[in-house]
Structure 1
């Protein structure tokens, strides 16, 4: 365990929610810390993942914890067991999970190479856990040595932890979170760097970490992101590995996902019987053939067109062979070889630019080959062949720059001789960072000048957001804040979503769908997570504006105010509806729609039929509280409705207050009925009651375990 610091959220000895006694700090992360604790009730050890103070109010991180909580549906000994999220009285959220006692593979990595036999056991065990996760369409995305713990130090008891991907998103952090990439560079599959992730990505990561632990060192992939991307295209170095480990790693970590093991089950089958599942060895002569992975499949020989060669490098090679280089070319020494002397261009200017999807090139080039190469790239050209004061590598350096900026939406390369500038804009933060870091902010080779890349998020259209909301609306309409431009959301403009959803799973998938489109924009989900019963009612509630009606909650028996509206098992919720001073006439209809799917009509009901505002005021002026749910002892004497929370129906209930200028429903509803029955009553009476209702106010009441 780590040494506790004064700034840590919890200290050893602290008691959370009267249940979990903190014993120490297991680890610190970018957004959360993990504590070891013991249940005061059962005596069992647990691990608590706690959001840091600065993220406790951030809706994005609440969703990440909610996603991790949902992984509790995976039941396998190789996957850490999760329980649920809890909130302390002062608002700190923590996720409860099993405590796994043992070293993580990153600790073993620091100690040196592990034995092949142990690693095959670990690989088989973890693959079985991944098979269980993938079977529920859950991909880890961040599998690395620190996320696998050997319970009791036993390889046969390996356990996968940390499915949350709630990592540090600060610049320079090892793990990036968002729609582009999630995972550590050293162990991430190549496709993850461009945002493509599926179960095969986890298989690659598992193979990469097994290789690292066999070598006793993490893979070296380069000094900057551009080098990482390039190196990821190559197979991992498995030279010297014993069989069957070598073949296993090769087939788990092929750069092409289609050539890997396609499932974790295939990994297990290979480990169990490597001979039967071994891939055929290539012919000896084929070993000398190198086929770049980015090239297309050749056409049949009979119809294949002549393949153009890389022209710019060949021009440079030819110049070197004659000995004089570009200097001789400029001076005219080679005129007898190449024919007519070319004009001298001073300055030797060239501009290649991409704007509005079109690439144009204008200026001077040293030969016909260079002009043809640029013509293949650009759709508009105005190029003249001339001599000039340029370096030997001028053409090759330009080709390097143009290959690097090709994916960007807009860019401009302006050169005068060997000096110039490259300006570009990127809508992908990773691409912008990689371009600048690959060249160190300067043009490559013999070229001199700065590279300036501006990152700018594309406008997110209101139509795109509305389409996502409509796809996920399962409990009434969802609404987004209107964009300032009226058309789309600008780079720094957050998305704020309001409305109800039927369950936590919908909230998570909605968040993921919005994050995939939002880029770096903040996504704020201000949504009510209801339940199917409440959603039935929600979609039939009358359309009426809210009023200034207030709600006052307190705990029965104690009389203590409970402004949070959260009540625990065994407590007695007391509810007062506070009529504002200007509400002096009409009628109040108060119901509570509980988590179990029942509706209780608190006012009016058979035991309390009078709901006229004037009678409820009883001559009082100003704001007047009206008790609608009573203290248990009080209810025994006056016959009012009282509730006590038990553990059979925990979740969200909704208190509903309708103010009308006439009684509703053409008669009194029963004291209790089903949500479906009440929804039908709302639908039946909608035509008559719509004009009678002047306001609709609601408030959530939450019941939970202590």
Structure 2
């Protein structure tokens, strides 16, 4: 994603039409902006293309954005899936499509490009997608590296996006830019400069972008129109490109379209089978193309090969005007039919019209009015749904229609509605007998009951794919903070990599910190999972004793002074980076004074596993703790020993200790530094954690705020030998 700007149409975290939560900006173009959004109902990531306000009222752009939505009839893994077109209450028109997560070829091109083997795989994958679009007389006309994304970074998962200027050459169809040139000069076929485009234009662009991605640099097509025209009339320079990619690109990018591959299928046939997609990708499922007025038939469902390979059609405005007027006339006739369609006055004579595909969408969002739109087989289901929506202030736009559905189709839909109704929000999207169901609840037991019910056979032999989520859709970070604050018993607990405002569904909640008892861990986990819904909860908690926890709470908020604690052994020169000691070993501890700390006073203590505090510096036997005296004239970083080898401590009052089996576990070595002595008087050599933390709290409070005191510490662990 890219950085948000104040001028953007939508802002991060904005909720659009009570359904789509904006997460960030994916790109900006001349007429539109593209956002990453998440469905509040299903939790799925989506891409949202929004017309800029200056175009949202332009009927040409609205008609043509609807043409882009019509791309949803194409079902192929290499073609981005479009789903629906909407308008916000304030007039912004947007189009919803799949979010494809991965780098664009333009990003990889800038990083030096890709090897020939990967580009052959990409060529086969993209060509198989183009073959389907071309079979519907839909041409992309703007293929370029930034319009191909490698899902998950995999060449075999290449996806074509942005059919924003795609042209549908079915009768009456329009284009985003009329009949004039559309596309990028660097990759556009020569004929596109004259306003002509067909399947072979996309083949040229695919070859040009493959060459650019191999070289890691876009084609140089000149700096002015005359130079562009001259260079476009010449073959592309493929010298240095290895075979078989070179010959493939040469054939794809011939300046004369008649000398190129004549169809995307021909491109596929010229590629070594080792680089081809699976058979399933080469023979995708497509919906039948629409005829004027919405009718379909066998002829429309099976376009001839000549439709994809026909010579370039003249799409200049002089010829497009008649088609547009014809389209308006057809639309007027269709409009008259629609009146009868909803009034049912033609039904006695003709029966309900036939719908292909037969679709129905019913949505009950958590916020906002419910809606239903599509086809129903009988008045009973229509009226039942309309009444249910009206009771909640919703609207039903339902039409009686015939279709290729079982007799019990309506009964199955009614069954699904009753099953989903207890959920906080839900949606049914049916195309024929294929039904996608999504919903959300905060009640785990209800989620389980609904999932169990949806797993059973549904009347009408409906094939149901269900996604019932455990909410909430958005879990505020503040709510998690409240749980952590209430459950903390050993200093503050922190969220790891928390989002800025709220957790999305599926996003991990990770917590780190220290706790006093295992029971605290269980209580925290239960409290978090109770609100987390479909989000994993991970606790990275360190279990400390009560004395250590008292110290942690007292030190909370004190800054670090940059003091290092080094540990070693009394009987050998080895260092001990782990800070772990076994029974019988003699820990040696040095405090390293930072080079920049030349004055003030130190206080060094150990809080042991039983909650006792031992003061290493100062104490009755070693009262000098001024930094200047400890440095003794030395510059830079200076180590100061505070726990000695047993032999060093013989008869001189220095502190040394051996690990015994009675005090195993975690202790904390603590270093305090301040401009003035932390305490007014010497503390006893040892005392309880309660008395020490009480005195320290009073010292901090007396100074106000942190009182200029810094704190650094390190855990020391004692254990039985293996």
Computing the radius of gyration from Cα coordinates, the structure with the larger value is: 2
| TM-score calculated relative to the size of structure 1 | 0.45
| TM-score calculated relative to the size of structure 2 | 0.44
